[in-house]
Amino acid sequence: MKQIITCTLLCGSLFAAACSTDTQQSKTEAMIDENNPFHAPSTLPFEAPDFDAISDEHYKPAMLAGIEQEMDEIRAIAENPAPPTFDNTIVAMERTGELLTRVQRVFNNMTSAHTNDRIQEIQSDMAPRFADHSDNIFLNANLFDRVRTLHDNMDALGLDEASEKLLRDKYRNFVRAGALLTDDQQKRIREINSELSSLSTKFQDKLLEMTRERAVIIENEDELDGLSRDRIAAAREAAEERGHEGKYLLSITNTTRVPVLTSLKNREVRRRVWEASAYRGIGQNDGIDTRPIVLRLAELRAERAQLLGYENFATFALEPQTAQNPGNVLNMLTDLVPAVRANTEREAEMIRQKMLEDGIDDQVRAWDWEYYAERVREAEYDIDDAEIRPYFELNRVLEDGVFYTMNRLYGISFEERFDLPVYHDDVRVFDVFDHDGEQLGLFYADYFARDSKRGGAWMSSYVGQSHLLDKKPVVVNVLNIDKPAEGEPALITFDNVTTLFHEMGHGVHGLFSDVKYPSQAMTAVPRDFVEFPSTFEEDWAIHPEVLANYAIHHETGERIPDDLLDRIIAARDFNQGFETQEYVAATMIDKEWHLLAPDEIPDDVTAFENFALAKYNLDYEPVPPRYKSPYFAHIFSGGYSANYYAYIWSEVLAADAFAYMKEQGGLTRENGNHYRETILSRGGSREAIDLYLDFRGQEAGVEPLLRRRGLDVDVDTL
């Protein structure tokens, strides 16, 4: 999908006959100086952004000019007196918006990876303008008539598979945006889209604000008993940066769980950290309350879906996904719940026994789980986090783990370069070369957490691949690993290791893209398919050959002992009840919000969440949802509204694909090339299910997923 469609799941539309802003004002605002670095394509390799030349003042003029430019291009297509053809309409649309795409790719990445007050101000101002611009394309009656004429006569056009799919998708996008509605209905759609866009931006801004505010300040180092020396040093430096000299700062991550809870021995400190995470966004302590935004977003989405003829937003959102409808998703998830609860309760009993050994005769609390889960893991598998982390130094994991695997599977290589400008000193840049020496594109790596970055991990792009536009990809992976104190090694958790592999899965999905049309390039696939390539790469992190290559002690240089390696792999199945339940619980909250009609929106966010969890037998206090609504970025400011299930749906494909590849010989170029050719290079040029069938030869079964998660459950194959 082209980058200019910035709010497709929220607004679902792009541009049209009537512009709601004053034309003269728009013309004036749209002026862009030739000295603006976005005025023309970057002269750097592969049109990589010239961050040394870009400043905050350049974004808004470039975006306004880009909107105006694309409006002119779209108007020329819509008003073309010649009969519509695939080239003069569909291909012509694929060529529009070059300036807007160029600036938005950079700006959108900065809003997440390195924002500031000025960028947030611009984002808030531009959000409704982008929604309006989106509507002005998809609600353009003349443009839609041309697309509909081509769609209705598709059989006579003689199109290839990718072109035919592009036409079908264009038509569907127009209809889903409201092209068939009445004028009054389209007016209301525009109003809803504008408000949705503004609210989503506001939610994102508040998440960043609350992450800063909800950090926990610790007075004495004694309270940090259990943390390693490097973690304590990092906490001290973080506190100093916030003006808390002589104290320690424990930051809050994007999920309800906080990684530091696995190590903190002090139960009261664990409680403080967990509550700081779990109770954010409800106006407590920091005064930041996102609940009104949550309620209004749910109401507007429901109204929009009904205007478009759908029962609810979930039905609307899942129509273009491989799952097709909410019923299929709910059937899969509810089938898992009994086994998940059984596993979770067994784990809870093991945790309670460990608490008793420490003299704590109390029920298991949410802030106890991760700490004592690690104690159980240590006892059952003889694994200690302090023993493991020295073998996982970030740079070695990246180069000898992630890059090594990419080379073994696909023959590609990464060579760091230092001549290209970056937006932060922590960002690294790599040339990516194919097996024959041809350069595929550029890879940016931004791994350390900071106040200017939102939580989580993601892949994005600065330049999209397209043969039509003669462009190669420039992609970026962003993580939030705690930065070590000055001079200390970056020793990371095994969760961080897995995330590095996961995001590189998205990365190669972008780097290997080999399609004609920009709308079908890279990761332009259904939401419940896009996480398949990333999840697939995760399992190579525990492949014995790969692990042995990167798990090397940062001080002694010794490879990880075979017995410890075996224990790490064996321990992978432990705590999967917890892992799965917290995810499924969040997924059910997402689903329940988006199954509501406009008149069913509740008044109390917390009460509604509790109702949703109880409905599916997921109301278990020691295992809260991975995200609660007030900070559920995926569904209230990201693109996963009613689609958070996509991770486990994609995991079915990933587990099945990995099991199949192991049967075919495992870590080999032959396997990697087949996967690259049938999945990674094709983007959205074919239907997702056809891509998988081409790779696998049959539909995916659920059994590999169950084995991957260590769940003992008998469910039907999906």
Catalytic residues, which ones? 503
Query: Which residues does 69 contact at the CB level (< 8 Å), separation at least 6?
Result: 30, 97, 98, 99, 100
Q: Which of 697, 592, 708 is nearest to 650 (CA)?
A: 708
Cβ neighbours around 213 below 10 Å, total:
14
CA 582, CA 359: separation in Å to the nearest integer? 27
Q: Are 204 and 633 in contact (CB under 8 A)?
A: yes
CA 393, CA 554: separation in Å to the nearest integer? 6
Angle between helices 605-615 and 576-594 in degrees, nearest 10: 120
Q: How far is CA 493 from CA 25, 26, 387, in A?
A: 53, 50, 11
Cβ neighbours around 209 below 10 Å, total:
14
Q: In the β-sheet with 474-481, what is the strand arrangement from edge to edge?
A: 413-417, 428-433, 439-448, 474-481, 458-463
CB burial of residue 117 (10 Å; 0-12, 13-18, 19+) = exposed
Q: Are 155 and 42 in contact (CB under 8 A)?
A: no
DSSP string, 67-79: HHHHHHHHHHHHT
CA 393, CA 586: separation in Å to the nearest integer? 32
Q: Which of 670, 708, 304, 327 is nearest to 498 (CA)?
A: 708
What 3-state class would DSSP assign to 232? helix
For residue 112, give both structure tokens: 């997440």
Q: Which of 94, 100, 138, 140 is nearest to 1 (CA)?
A: 94
User: Beta strands of 105-144 (E only): which ranges?
Assistant: none
Q: Are strands 458-463 and 474-481 parallel, antiparallel or unpaired?
A: antiparallel
Cα 448–Cα 627–Cα 336 angle in degrees, nearest 5: 115
For residue 445, give both structure tokens: 């790596």
Q: Which of 104, 186, 132 is nearest to 11 (CA)?
A: 132
Q: Are 598 and 302 in contact (CB under 8 A)?
A: yes
CA 236, CA 266: separation in Å to the nearest integer? 18
Q: Which of 6, 5, 20, 15 is nearest to 144 (CA)?
A: 15
DSSP string, 432-464: EE-TTS-EEEEEEEEEE--TTS-SS-EEEEEE-
CA 471, CA 468: separation in Å to the nearest integer? 8
Cβ neighbours around 26 below 10 Å, total:
16
